[in-house]
Homo-oligomer: A and B are copies of this chain.
Amino acid sequence: MQTERRPPSRGRRPTQADVARLAEVSQTVVSYVLNDIRTVSISSETRKRVQDAIAELGYVPDNAARSLRSGRTMTIAAVIPDITNPFYPDLIRGIQNVTQASGYDLVTYNTDGTLEGEQRGIDTARRGRVDGLILNPFHIDPSYLLPILTDGIPMVINGEYHLNAFPPDLPLDRVYVPGDAAARSIVDYLIEKGHTRIAMIAGEDATPPREGRVRGYRQALAAHHIPLEEALIRGSTFNEEGGYEAMRELLTITPRFTAVFAANDLMALGAFIACREEGIRVPDDIAIAGFDNIPAARLVSPALTTVAQYPERTGRHAAEQLMERLSGRYDGPTRVDLLQHDLIVRESA
């Protein structure tokens, strides 16, 4: 019985049943051939008949049916804040390099750095029954993740997200560059270069990257007995506009600071633009340092001094952790892997 009304122009796609009919075998055999099951053996003659029928009909398996039945989707989801920040495409590419090799599909959710976006990404992921998740959470409450983990869906979190209250036996792993240590290394560098009044363009309020990097900034100042001026720390969105706005506001402060540390490169580039508009020379009047080492960092003028992260490697690592969980090769407690970062001295500071 054909109970539902189909959209008018959509022709019916061939199913395994159609293939079976044409090849004069049962539907089961079609499934066997398709999935290359080795617990049963199919005569090569039958296999050929099936394959011919598949080709003739242009049959393509239906993933919805397949995953409904098998409970697996062969898909993992990556939830990231901003695809237009060059950091994330590299991360995605790293993830994809390993998921693809394992036959997994990757779907990407862009949250725009909002709580709603994160919820939507995670919800949709859950509804879509993805087999695993890679998350860059900014705002989501950890409790939101718990049901997914207890369902047994493995997850890798990239970033210094606070979920210490979680039991250790969940299928959860973590990878991140320690933001405080990395920030300390670059602020230390600025201090060594003689700067004592160093502003910070901190990024969006109450987000893990901001918090780690601000902590490092504070630590570096404290270690050198430089008094902290809260007014020199400026929030903004993590993009070029945010950096531009923050810099404009900072430039109204007198007497003027001599260096700025921006919590990411995009914001540092925005600060460049603000300086250019004001006729402020970088690094002579104000030194500017960034964070991430996006490809543009070495191409701008002056080339940007920054802390390198390795997003492609990060993505690969996160995906590998996930694949180990998915394949059952690892089934232990939460792993926490700290990733490499490097101070990259160029011209801007």
Residues of A within 8 A of B (CB): 4, 6-11, 13, 58, 60-65, 67-68, 70-71, 73, 83-84, 86, 88-90, 92-93, 96, 105, 107-108, 110, 123-124, 126-129, 147, 150-153, 171, 240, 269, 272-273, 295-296, 299-302, 331
With A92-B110, A299-B296 as known contacts, state yes or no: A123 contacts B60, CB within 8 Å: yes
Query: In the complex, what distance in Å separates the CA atom of A73 from the CA atom of B83?
Result: 23
**Is the beta-carbon distance between A152 and B7 smaller than 8 angstroms?**
yes
**Is the beta-carbon distance between B84 and A73 smaller than 8 angstroms?**
no
Query: In the complex, what distance in Å separates the CA atom of A61 from the CA atom of B8?
Result: 27
With A9-B171, A10-B151, A71-B7 as known contacts, state yes or no: A93 contacts B64, CB within 8 Å: no
**Is the beta-carbon distance between A152 and B11 smaller than 8 angstroms?**
yes
Q: Which residues on B sit within 8 Å (CB–CB) of A63?
A: 64, 124, 127-129
**Cβ-closest chain B residue relative to A266:** B295
Q: What is the total number of copies of this protein in its complex?
A: 2
Q: Which of B62, B129, B150, B302 contacts A11 (CB 8 A)?
A: B150
Using A11-B150, A83-B83, A83-B89 as known contacts, list a sample of 14 further A-B pairs with CB atoms less than 8 Å apart, ordered by residue number in A: A4-B70, A6-B71, A8-B152, A58-B147, A60-B126, A61-B127, A62-B127, A83-B93, A84-B86, A92-B110, A295-B296, A296-B296, A296-B299, A296-B300
With A62-B68, A71-B6, A127-B63 as known contacts, state yes or no: A151 contacts B11, CB within 8 Å: yes
**Cβ-closest chain B residue relative to A150:** B11
Q: Which of B4, B150, B151, B331 contacts A71 (CB 8 A)?
A: B4
Q: Which residues on B sit within 8 Å (CB–CB) of A10?
A: 71, 151-153
Q: Which residues on B sit within 8 Å (CB–CB) of A73?
A: 64
Q: Which residues on B sit within 8 Å (CB–CB) of A171?
A: 9
Q: Which of B9, B127, B272, B295 contacts A152 (CB 8 A)?
A: B9
Q: Which residues on B sit within 8 Å (CB–CB) of A152?
A: 7-11
**Cβ-closest chain B residue relative to A68:** B64
Query: In the complex, what distance in Å separates the CA atom of A123 from the CA atom of B89?
Result: 23
Query: In the complex, what distance in Å separates the CA atom of A123 from the CA atom of B60?
Result: 8
A-B contacts, 15 listed (Cβ < 8 Å): A8-B152, A10-B151, A10-B152, A58-B147, A60-B126, A62-B68, A62-B127, A63-B64, A63-B127, A63-B129, A64-B67, A105-B107, A296-B296, A300-B300, A300-B301
Q: Which residues on B sit within 8 Å (CB–CB) of A65?
A: 64, 68
Q: Which residues on B sit within 8 Å (CB–CB) of A7?
A: 71, 152
Q: Which residues on B sit within 8 Å (CB–CB) of A86?
A: 84, 86
Q: Which residues on B sit within 8 Å (CB–CB) of A84?
A: 86, 89-90, 93
Query: In the complex, what distance in Å separates the CA atom of A127 from the CA atom of B74?
Result: 12
Q: Which residues on B sit within 8 Å (CB–CB) of A302?
A: 301
Min CB–CB distance A271 → chain B (angstroms): 11
